[in-house]
Amino acid sequence: MIDISGSGQLPLLTQRLSDLRASPVRAMLEASQKPDVISFAGGLPAPETFAKATLPASAEAALQYGPSEGEPRLRALIAEELQAIGLDCDADQVLILSGSQQGIDLSAKLTVDAGTRIAVESPTYLAALQVFRFFGAAFESMPPDLSVNWTRQDHPAMAYIIPTFQNPTGRCWSADEREAFAHNCEASDVILFEDDPYRDLAYEACERRPVASWMKQGSWIYQGSFSKTLSPGLRLGFMVASRDLYPHLLLLKQAADLHSNRLSQYMVIDQLTAPDRAARRDFLVSTYRARRDAFADAMRRHLGNAVEWQVPPGGLFFWLTLPDHVDVDALLAAAIKRKVLFTPGRPFYADEALASPSIRLNFSHASQEAADAGLAILGDLLRA
């Protein structure tokens, strides 16, 4: 583990580094690898849902350098799928990413100078806050009803949103909210940045049409990931952008890593065109739905009424609001002693003053027995 906390004066390193905070999730990932630890931290998919990692015979070509945009076949497949869900785009607007985390980095490089206003949900994905903060963003936390008063003269540069099965809350925006938000961005020249890694993990029917599909003019970026549906170790995601932004994002991608791993891209092409693809997706969704439901049952049994939460309609997380008197840091320290990990809610807030005691629990990784045992321990600790 790198300790950046007590770094003091570092004359040869950038000023920006002082805004880089270690992610609590990354820090816990190491601890969560130990066999006797029950981890509700991180967003780890269940290994039994991973796609079989076989290299297609054609993959030899993938050992050479490739195009920065990504493999043409993969870009075409992605564009086709996005068109089918209502997003009007062509393959030449698709950029293959080394994980969708890279899309956040490229979007930040595209838009954020020191003091640039970035609108975010509150709470939102903590590793996005980490990146935007690194480049000097000044955050604007949007209210839960998403009401904003932006004008062409006074508006943030970009709005970063996760409207479908949000990380950390699991929330899914309604059609009206999606349409109104897209119109707000268009009307006030705000770049819409929609992050959508969980859209396929839908356990109930809900609106999932991309907000970007309502953007008829204006600038937008929409991104997705293969981490949650195929495997995170592939490190593969994609972004699609309006034509004014795309060339800049492509240059930033080139400068960052030339192109994404071609072996991973070949494997993903293979998976997207596999005859059993629909069956795999059904298996994934039904496995996670069962896990979510068992997890909710165990929470009802072990956590009692003092904790507030809702069953998420999709995604990988439960978001729990705890009674005001709970000290979440002390709870985490006590839980770690008993080999249970969770993610505290505070780092998900751009403005930590808005955070009430809350925690995020991942339900996809732990087995049902482990989840039950871990929640029983959390219940004990909360009652103590």
Ligand X SMILES: Cc1ncc(COP(=O)(O)O)c(C=O)c1O
Q: Which residue, 167 or 264, is less far from ligand X as judged by CB?
A: 167
349 touches ligand X by CB under 6 A: no
Q: Which residues share a beta bridge with 118? A: 139, 158
Cα angle for residues 34, 315, 338 (degrees, 5° grid): 30
Select from 93-101, 181-189, 267-275, 334-342 the region that touches ligand X (CB under 6 A). 93-101
Sort strands 220-225 and 191-195 into parallel, antiparallel or unpaired: parallel
What is d(CA 111, CA 106) in angstroms, rounded to the nearest whole number? Answer: 9
Contact range with ligand X by CB under 6 A, out of 66-74, 85-93, 95-103, 255-263: 95-103
Tokens 């952008």 belong to which residue?
A: 241
**C-alpha span between 108 and 299 (Å, rounded):** 37
- Which string of x and - marks every residue 131-160 that binds ligand X (by CB under 6 A)? ------------------------------
- State whether the Cα torsion 331-335-337-342 is positive or negative: negative
Nearest to 198 by CA among 371, 45, 369: 45
Residue range at the interface with ligand X (CB under 6 A); choices 45-53, 99-107, 171-179, 251-259: 99-107
* Binding to ligand X, residues 9-48 (CB under 6 A): 43
Stretch that binds ligand X, among 61-69, 97-105, 254-262, 329-337 (CB under 6 A): 97-105
Residue selected from 101, 242, 271, 362 as contacting ligand X according to rule CB under 6 A:
101
125 binds ligand X (CB under 6 A): yes
| Nearer Cβ to ligand X (40/303) | 40
Q: How many residues bind ligand X (CB under 6 A)?
A: 13
Query: Is the peptide bond between 232 and the residue preceding it cis, with omega within 30 degrees of 0?
Result: no
Cα separation, 186 vs 313, whole angstroms: 29
Binding track, positions 157-176, relative to ligand X; x by CB under 6 A: -----x----x---------
Distances (CA, A) of 167 to 80, 177, 288, 348, 371: 26, 18, 16, 9, 20
Round to whole Å and give the CA distance between 205 and 94: 27
Residue number of the CB closest to ligand X reads: 99
SS3 117: strand
The one among 45, 66, 70, 99 contacting ligand X by CB under 6 A? 99
- CA distances 37 to 31, 165, 335, 336, Å, are 8, 27, 10, 9
User: Binders of ligand X among 215-254, rule CB under 6 A?
Assistant: 225, 227, 232, 237
Nearest distance from C-beta of residue 232 to ligand X, angstroms? 5
Number of neighbours of residue 136 by Cβ within 10 angstroms: 16
Q: Which is nearer to ligand X, 165 or 377 (CB)?
A: 165
Shortest Å, Cβ 337 to ligand X: 27
Report the residue number, 23 or 83, with the smaller CB distance to ligand X: 23
Binding characters for ligand X, 365-384, by CB under 6 A (x = yes): --------------------
The region of 68-76, 96-104, 286-294, 301-309 touching ligand X under the rule CB under 6 A is 96-104
When the beta carbons of 100 and 184 are compared against ligand X, the nearer one is 100
Backbone angles phi, psi at 254, to 5 degrees: -55, -45
Which chain residues interact with ligand X by CB under 6 A? Answer: 43, 99-101, 125, 162, 167, 195, 197, 225, 227, 232, 237
